[in-house]
Amino acid sequence: MFVYAAEKATAAKRMGSVEEVSANVLYYLSPAGAYVTGDTMHVDGGWHLMGPLLDVPEHENNRSYGTCKL
């Protein structure tokens, strides 16, 4: 169910392959990516453009807010 919902929520309408994700990792590790510092590359099929997949409650409505004991 999550995969189906995630596929619908991405601009690409599919999950990325291992090859697609690893190609970006290899870029950062290669000489071509040597001058890149402090950058964020979204490898998510456009998920970050489509909005949240799940509804996140406001903190006032979340009973666990403020109950963390360290």
Helix residue ranges per DSSP H, the chain: 2-9, 18-29, 47-50
What local confidence, expressed as pLDDT, does residue 41 receive? 81
- DSSP codes, 39-50: -----STTHHHH
The pLDDT confidence band at residue 16, using thresholds 50, 70 and 90, is confident
Q: Which residue has the tokens 């599919």?
A: 14
Q: Which residue has the tokens 């963390």?
A: 68
Instruction: Please give the structure tokens belonging to residue 64.
Output: 């666990």
Poorest-confidence range of 8-12, 13-17, 55-59?
55-59
Q: What is the CATH number of domain 2-61?
A: 1.10.8
What local confidence, expressed as pLDDT, does residue 22 receive? 92
What local confidence, expressed as pLDDT, does residue 55 receive? 62
DSSP state of 36: -
CA 19 to chain centre: 17
Q: Note the pLDDT tens digit of each residue in 18-48.
A: 999 899 889 989 999 999 887 778 888 887 7
